[in-house]
Structure 1
Amino acid sequence: MGTYRSMRDFAHTPEPAGAPAPAADGERRFVVQRHRARRLHYDVRFEIDGVLVSWAVPKGPTLDPTARRMAVHVEDHPLEYEAFEGVIPHGQYGGGDVIVWDRGTWHPYKSDDPAAEVAGGQLHAELHGERLRGKFLLVRRDSGDGKDQWLMFHKRDEHAVVGWDAEDHPTSVVSGRTNDEVAAHPDHIWRSGVPAAQADVDLHPPVPDVPPPTDDELAALDDLGASGTWDVHGRRLRVTNLDKVLFPARDGEAPVTKRDLLRYTACVAPVALPYLAGRALNMHRFPQGAGTRGFWHKQLPDHAPDWVPRWDNPAADPGETSTYLVVDEPAALVWAANFGALEWHAWTSRTAAPDLPTYALVDLDPGPATAWEDVVLLARLHRDAFEHLGVRAFPKLTGRRGIQIWVPVAVGPTFDETRAWVERLSRTVGKVVPDLVSWRWEVSERGGQARLDYTQNAVNKTLVAPYSPRASAGAPVSAPLSWDELDADWLRPDAFTVRTVLDRVAEHGDLFRGVLEGDQVLPRLT
């Protein structure tokens, strides 16, 4: 492991610096990864003494006993790397795409000490893989160029096949995919600078699927007095001040109480959970209600129940938020609402890869002089731009005065890259209606004009989550739209509230679900 560690800065390399995992049933494992980095090669790795002792074989291993394959002895890799299939970000050591070309078990057939064999310049290995079987020999040769060059060949045994070529078998034994297919739609990437157990990032985590609260659970909330214990979504919560008005009434409507908010939260949580799970949550709290001044609360309080999911941010500096709420289950969202979080603002990156966004964000931020019709016009112009580019994007009302557009992206681009992409797109749109748009940072310098805010594309910058209430009269909700609804006569930013949006979901479904399909690569803008 010493050579392996010396070649990597673990603040930048995606390969983990972890402790070795034990082999199953005492068997030694081997893996061959088809790896396209600066050039195509096959990484042949044998488990020896808690690491993967590795050779890079440019033409790939073969079953042909008449062929000799050059093999460059490279640094040891940790055992956690054995199962990796996906993409290593470019610009980092080994950047490129990787498939698991073969895997299985092996044993040394000449000695009981393969580490000593390697040190002595040879390795006798009998492989039991899906493609590679039989006895192999690796022998060091004096290349004279300073590289640790070896030869790899197959012995003449019952598994030998003359003319056998690895390139005739270009698919993964795990997924059946080629390198091209993995590169186009990777399921995993390596993260840098984290423990090995956290290095492999799943780009397509399963969407949480939980049932709504039962009628009995909702009836139990109605039957409580001003405070009490409520069993909901499998958890027991202490809820308080249930009759307090949290949202002033709108004309012709009753005010919204804390009991109303908790009921809504419990009912919408199964719909909202996919946009919150696995992400740090910034809570916008209004303990005395929406008619008072709220404040941001990021640090999970010490009094939070032990069952509440959380994330310890390893990048937090002293004095910064160290532990965040993560709404990985619906009861955690109800707990947050009871804690006074009237608005829910989840990170646009996951805790598994906080420096890599899963969305590119367009925030149509109206100025004091911006009419609602002008906000809608700006949204329509973005709609046309996305359609022209062939980019999937999803609009939603903010619940206040604006419209947001979320663009799902495959994990890989940095926040700097998504911010630059959105800025270029929005500046192009803004040129169509220059009298409506200001690019000034300070609100006082915008002349009342709207801002196409691309700066939200940054780590720990958040936009209000889908289906979150907003701290305004009537408890409006940040509700997803279809693109066609931008042309509807009824459209206004606070069109839906905690009392109406669930009926909309029941009728139309979750119109935002497409942002969870994180396989989109942003096109280059010229």
Structure 2
Amino acid sequence: MKTPDANARLRRYQTKRDFHLTPEPAPDAEAPLSDAPVFVIHKHDATRLHYDLRLEIGGVLVSWAIPKGPSFDPSQKRLAVQTEDHPRSYADFEGHIPDDQYGGGDSLLWESGTFETVPPNQATAQLARGHLEVVLHGAKLQGRWHLIRTRPRGGKAQWLFFKAKDDFARPDYDVTAERPESVKSGQVATQGPRKPGVLRPKPLVVKAAPKRPRKAPANPRQLLERVWPPMLARLAVPDEVHDDTHDYEVKYDGFRAVFALTHDKFVFQSRRGNDLSGRFARLTASLRELPASDVVVDGEIVALDAKGRSRFQLLQNTEEGAEQRFIVFDVLWLNGEDLRALPYEERRARLEDLMAAVELPVQLSERLDLPLSRALPEARRRGWEGIIAKRRGAPYTGTRSGDWLKLKVVAGQEVVILGYLPIKNARAKSEIGALRVGVRGKEGFHDVGKVGTGYTSRDRQELRWLLDATRAKKPTAVDAPAHPDTVWVKPKYVAQVQFTEWTRDGRLRHPVFQGLRSDKVPEDVVRESPAPTEGARARKGTRRAPVQASARTATHAAARQAAKKTTTGSKTTGSKKPATKTTTKVSKLSATRDAEVVLTHGDRVLFPKSGLTKEDVFGYYREVAPLLVPVLTDRPLAHQQWPAGIAAPGFFRHEMSGIPAWMPTLTVRHEDKTLRHVNVKDASVLLWLANQSAFTLHMWVSHAPRLAQPDFVVFDLDPGTGGWKDVVKVAKRLHARLDALGLKSFPKTSGKRGLHVLVPLAPGHTYARTQAFANARAVELEEALGDIATTERSIDQRGGRLYLDAGQNARGKTVVAPYSLRAVEGAPFSAPLDWSEVNGRLDPHRFRLETLKKRLDAVGDLFAPVLRTKQTLPKE
């Protein structure tokens, strides 16, 4: 709420800016209303990069400049300098402030959300006292935070901004490095103001080298300081990478080092600044022969084993005589030119020219001209640590960047928990520190090492509580290592871990805890080895996929044929003939044996008024499987389960219990835990879900292995008091706007009252980009049709208007799957539509379990084109 003195508080903001020149909003610009005060953080590249925190207090945005940005570590108290108040309309601003204007440079909307004080409604009073305690509800920042003034008013008041000790605190998480993108546009890179006499770097897609070579410093250390520090890669998973946007290089296991040469003088040092020239004299001598007058190269010192693989351990034991190399993977400076602003692919081309005549022991890093689906198996086959995915068009930046991603070759293994080591932190005595794990052998359980990472604090507490109830007096491993602190337990629980490789002595290297396996018994857990056929396929270059998440192989025809393999006496969709047991045997396309799905309690009534039974639902999904399986394969699901029918309470679950051993699954890391999702790779999985009465299926809008890259933009039109009439009007407006942008869109009913509009995408998009695109279209619709439509989430504040929901465009959010049944009388399903059907005469309730066959006979599968359409969102 705007206070009477708000205009006076904005005078300083106004006097510092010329609104004819800057794109920043004037103080009188209108701002959208909200039911809670907003907070935003701008990533601002002015005289130096910093983060501007803004809290809505008294109708203005009270602002602080935080040089280092926020930290989730409560011990990190960040300086926050209070600046001028900004207008409320600034909460949506993003753009480039002209260089000659106040605050010149890029300002990205890095974070946005709402907040409340503790206790509530105390913002003005807490600001006056100099201690704000706020709860943030943002896309990146959550939980309680403190702002404490350390210097009194007068001049620029200095405050401290830091995380409170709550469940959201994460000392090991660098949010500015892990989430560098704008929440509005998805943009990551920023440009500051041009300094006098310094050329501004051109956009990343344009070659930005200076026109004339610069004179290199005579001192190589000064040259190195000019391009310091080295760029770092971020650990990632394969779904963050795509062949259309990245190139792949071998990840070497050694020492990072940078070499600078100028005027026949040199510096060879580690990332931490240690001199390496004496220890690696032979490499230094070879680097001095680089064909350049002045040059800086970045690379890795490695030692090779007998098979030519880099091994870090060999660098520790130089007496073993392992062959040493310096692998060069980037060039930062060459013959008077600072190359860091050039796109990756041009720097790589310059580096290849430089290295063309260079001889061993200096060599160019190996580049993989393979798709990711073959590059990772190749890395595994050749015994590499992994690969580095480098984004095309990206500059060399002296920070840890998402433009370089580490993809380690990580294997999976089921292990039996044999004991634990208590945590060393005295304040967390109720937690485990690490698990001692093993596998079954001929003599019993063999120790394969300890697992110390991958846990949340809650995981550590629950495991301690669980294992303390099964303590054993003697070691449960036949080859138990001598460790006096180990608490041994009975071999009762099975865990899933990921790791990089098996050591020579049969231990797991770099194991990471993934979760407990309730579907496995300890006696079944043995050391897993790839089958010979898998190895043969890998040598031919085909993809080696995990057993529980293999690549898509099912076609519509194959799925249809599989679904028809039913025993006689099974019931067709819509039939009322009672039955208590039906067996459907479906050939699994991704497994080595058949899976038998048994319908139990088929006569149980799930829809009381219409009398539809569990067998009706089972038959429906058998019929629709050929259409639905290609949509759901490799896509994480959430389920609504109705074991006692829709008249009784149902359950919403991401992870199903009692998953049989034959069923394919997807192990997915969510924000606070790792879950195992059912993977609908064929009809048998779909029918198993139907037998669990899990007939409402909610799907992610991305699929493995690219879970970070959405396949669709989703718009959910949720009607208000205007009903279907308003849905049609808004949908047609949205359809016309998407057409104008050159985008094909596809409608489907939600299965209840609303409508979903999907915009299929080509690979390579990010959730940040699709969310920004969806939000922009929703705002456009609200501006044009504000009398009937709103983006207001609160039902009480909508005033009976249709809700424009763009919120499903985020990782982990779901939308009901096409053809999925809904828990509404008559068993309606989410029906794909043609745009010509979206009119006032359409009754969404006519698409239901008993009319599926008639619908498919009339129009066929209208969702199939969604899977075939690949398009790119326009730049805005």
Structure 1 residue aligned with 2:597: 237
> For 1:465 and 1:292, how far apart are their aligned partners in 2?
23
From 196, 208, 229, give the equivalent of 2:555: 208
Structure 2 residue ranges without an equivalent (≥5): 1-229, 242-247, 254-303, 311-324, 331-347, 376-387, 395-402, 412-542, 546-550, 572-576, 588-593
Are residue 431 (structure 1) and residue 783 (structure 2) matched?
yes
Structure 1 residue aligned with 2:668: 313
TM-aligned CA deviation for residue 426 of structure 1 = 2.0
TM-aligned CA deviation for residue 239 of structure 1 = 1.8
Q: Is the 8 A contact 1:213 1:267 kept in 2?
A: no
Are residue 10 (structure 1) and residue 235 (structure 2) matched?
yes
Are residue 226 (structure 1) and residue 580 (structure 2) matched?
yes
> For 1:501 and 1:286, how far apart are their aligned partners in 2?
21
Structure 2 residue aligned with 1:58: 349
Q: Against the structure 1 CA distance between its residues 59 and 305, is the aligned structure 2 distance closer, same or farther, given a 3 Å change threshold? A: same
TM-aligned CA deviation for residue 71 of structure 1 = 6.9
Q: 1:350 corresponds to which letter in structure 2?
A: H
Structure 2 residue aligned with 1:39: none
Q: Is the 8 A contact 1:358 1:518 kept in 2?
A: no
> For 1:488 and 1:445, how far apart are their aligned partners in 2?
27
Are residue 446 (structure 1) and residue 806 (structure 2) matched?
no
Where in structure 2 are the equivalents of 1:125-524 lying within 5 Å? 192=405, 194-196=407-409, 208-209=555-556, 210-212=559-561, 217=566, 219-222=568-571, 225-227=579-581, 229-232=583-586, 234-249=594-609, 254-301=610-657, 303-315=658-670, 317=672, 320=673, 322-367=675-720, 369-487=721-839, 489=841, 491-517=842-868, 519-524=870-875
Which deviations, in whole Å up to 9, do the C-alpha atoms of 1:345-397 show, x marking residues without a partner? 11111131222211111010112x13211111111111111111110111001
> For 1:351 and 1:459, how far apart are their aligned partners in 2?
12
Which deviations, in whole Å up to 9, do the C-alpha atoms of 1:76-108 show, x marking residues without a partner? 45x8x452479x9xxx9732189xxxxxxxxxx
TM-aligned CA deviation for residue 325 of structure 1 = 0.7
Which deviations, in whole Å up to 9, do the C-alpha atoms of 1:125-147 show, x marking residues without a partner? xxxxxxxxxxxxxxxxxxxxxxx
> For 1:93 and 1:196, how far apart are their aligned partners in 2?
13
> For 2:249 and 2:852, how far apart are their aligned partners in 1?
45
> For 1:324 and 1:196, how far apart are their aligned partners in 2?
22
> For 1:290 and 1:191, how far apart are their aligned partners in 2?
49
Q: 2:871 corresponds to which letter in structure 1?
A: Q
Q: Is the 8 A contact 2:696 2:823 kept in 1?
A: yes
Q: 1:95 corresponds to which letter in structure 2?
A: R
TM-aligned CA deviation for residue 297 of structure 1 = 1.3
> For 2:232 and 2:564, how far apart are their aligned partners in 1?
60
Q: Against the structure 1 CA distance between its residues 328 and 96, is the aligned structure 2 distance closer, same or farther, given a 3 Å change threshold? A: same
Q: Is the 8 A contact 2:232 2:404 kept in 1?
A: no
TM-aligned CA deviation for residue 337 of structure 1 = 1.1
The alignment partner of 2:862 has SS state of coil
> For 1:214 and 1:351, how far apart are their aligned partners in 2?
24
From 94, 108, 123, give the equivalent of 2:390: 94
Higher-Rg member (1/2): 2
> For 1:450 and 1:336, how far apart are their aligned partners in 2?
33
> For 1:55 and 1:305, how far apart are their aligned partners in 2?
47
TM-aligned CA deviation for residue 523 of structure 1 = 1.0
RMSD: 4.0
> For 1:287 and 1:225, how far apart are their aligned partners in 2?
17
TM-aligned CA deviation for residue 54 of structure 1 = 6.3
Which deviations, in whole Å up to 9, do the C-alpha atoms of 1:140-172 show, x marking residues without a partner? xxxxxxxxxxxxxxxxxxxxxxxxxxxxxxxxx
The alignment partner of 1:468 has SS state of coil
Q: Against the structure 1 CA distance between its residues 225 and 500, is the aligned structure 2 distance closer, same or farther, given a 3 Å change threshold? A: closer
Q: Against the structure 1 CA distance between its residues 516 and 239, is the aligned structure 2 distance closer, same or farther, given a 3 Å change threshold? A: same
The alignment partner of 2:855 has SS state of helix
Q: Is the 8 A contact 2:725 2:840 kept in 1?
A: no
The alignment partner of 1:484 has SS state of helix
Are residue 83 (structure 1) and residue 370 (structure 2) matched?
yes
Q: Is the 8 A contact 2:640 2:697 kept in 1?
A: yes
Query: TM-score, length-normalised on structure 2?
Result: 0.40
Structure 1 residue aligned with 2:431: none
> For 1:402 and 1:289, how far apart are their aligned partners in 2?
23
Q: Is the 8 A contact 2:695 2:821 kept in 1?
A: yes
Q: Is the 8 A contact 1:10 1:17 kept in 2?
A: no
From 289, 308, 330, give the equivalent of 1:49: 308
Q: 1:208 corresponds to which letter in structure 2?
A: T
TM-aligned CA deviation for residue 69 of structure 1 = 4.9
Structure 1 residue ranges without an equivalent (≥5): 21-46, 99-189
> For 1:298 and 1:508, how far apart are their aligned partners in 2?
33
Q: Is the 8 A contact 1:308 1:332 kept in 2?
A: yes
> For 1:308 and 1:216, how far apart are their aligned partners in 2?
18
Which deviations, in whole Å up to 9, do the C-alpha atoms of 1:295-341 show, x marking residues without a partner? 2111131x221111101124563xx4521111111110110111111
> For 1:314 and 1:419, how far apart are their aligned partners in 2?
21
TM-aligned CA deviation for residue 19 of structure 1 = 9.3
TM-aligned CA deviation for residue 17 of structure 1 = 7.8
Structure 2 residue aligned with 1:43: none
Which has the larger displacement, 505-514 or 328-337?
505-514
Q: Against the structure 1 CA distance between its residues 68 and 390, is the aligned structure 2 distance closer, same or farther, given a 3 Å change threshold? A: closer
> For 1:7 and 1:372, how far apart are their aligned partners in 2?
53
Q: Is the 8 A contact 1:268 1:502 kept in 2?
A: no
Q: Against the structure 1 CA distance between its residues 215 and 361, is the aligned structure 2 distance closer, same or farther, given a 3 Å change threshold? A: closer
Structure 1 residue aligned with 2:73: none
The alignment partner of 1:521 has SS state of coil
Q: 1:8 corresponds to which letter in structure 2?
A: A
> For 1:358 and 1:403, how far apart are their aligned partners in 2?
18
Q: 1:239 corresponds to which letter in structure 2?
A: L
Q: 1:495 corresponds to which letter in structure 2?
A: R
**Percent of residue pairs identical:** 27
TM-aligned CA deviation for residue 58 of structure 1 = 2.7
Q: Is the 8 A contact 1:18 1:196 kept in 2?
A: no
Q: Against the structure 1 CA distance between its residues 422 and 207, is the aligned structure 2 distance closer, same or farther, given a 3 Å change threshold? A: farther
> For 1:464 and 1:497, how far apart are their aligned partners in 2?
15
Q: Is the 8 A contact 1:355 1:414 kept in 2?
A: yes
> For 2:639 and 2:850, how far apart are their aligned partners in 1?
22
TM-aligned CA deviation for residue 465 of structure 1 = 0.2
> For 1:201 and 1:415, how far apart are their aligned partners in 2?
27
Which deviations, in whole Å up to 9, do the C-alpha atoms of 1:225-268 show, x marking residues without a partner? 4135432455312321111111234xxxx421110100010110
Q: 1:50 corresponds to which letter in structure 2?
A: R
Which has the larger displacement, 515-524 or 223-232?
223-232
